[in-house]
Amino acid sequence: MAVSRALRRLVRVLELEEEQYQISLETAMAELHRLQNALEAAGERERGGRQLISSSVVRNQIEDRLAGIEQARSAAMSQRHLVPRIADAAAEAAERREEYLAKRTERRQAETLVDAAQAQADLEASRRNQSALDEWYLNRRQINGMKEPSSQSKSAVPPRPLGK
């Protein structure tokens, strides 16, 4: 029995679904990385603002001091807003990863079924071919046993194996 077309189609559908889940995972991971980079940039801006405050104190420049204070405050506020978004994005990415891994497992199980069915079909075909060769050999011996000895040197051609 050959592997059914429906089972092969199922594996193909599962492959396509797995690709979709993988794309979804990659998108979620890209969003997480984007937010992490934004958090890192906000940290850099905050450090830059504090450095501007320090240098303005030494030079006694009030405008730079105010700009530094505002830059540090703005960056800190951005960080406070980004931290919960990063947590949400990390949870989303973890959920997408689980979905992807579940779909990959499902596809692999279906492929295992197809491979097992194909192996069984190949084994059955091999058995049929061997049986046909055995029958041919027995028939040839019976036919040659009934004929006269001079005709035994000429043998019939064995049948071709099935399915090849």
* pLDDT tens digits, 69-123: 999 999 999 999 999 999 999 999 999 999 999 999 999 999 999 999 899 989 9
Domain locations in the chain?
5-153
Taking CA atoms, 97 is separated from 25, 92, 94, 110, 145, in Å, by 6, 9, 5, 20, 71
State the pLDDT confidence band at 149, using cuts at 50, 70 and 90. Answer: low
State the pLDDT confidence band at 139, using cuts at 50, 70 and 90. Answer: confident
State the pLDDT confidence band at 158, using cuts at 50, 70 and 90. Answer: low
Output the pLDDT for position 146.
Answer: 73
**CA atoms of 159 and 142, how far apart (whole Å):** 16
In the predicted model, what is the mean pLDDT of residues 113-139? 91
**Minimal CA–CA distance to 143: which of 152, 131, 134, 135?**
152
**CATH code of the region 5-153:** 1.10.287
Per-residue pLDDT tens digits for 11-56: 999 999 999 999 999 999 999 999 999 999 999 999 999 999 999 8
For 3: left if phi > 0, alpha if psi spans -120 to 50, otherwise beta; the answer is beta
Taking CA atoms, 63 is separated from 51, 70, 148, in Å, by 14, 11, 122
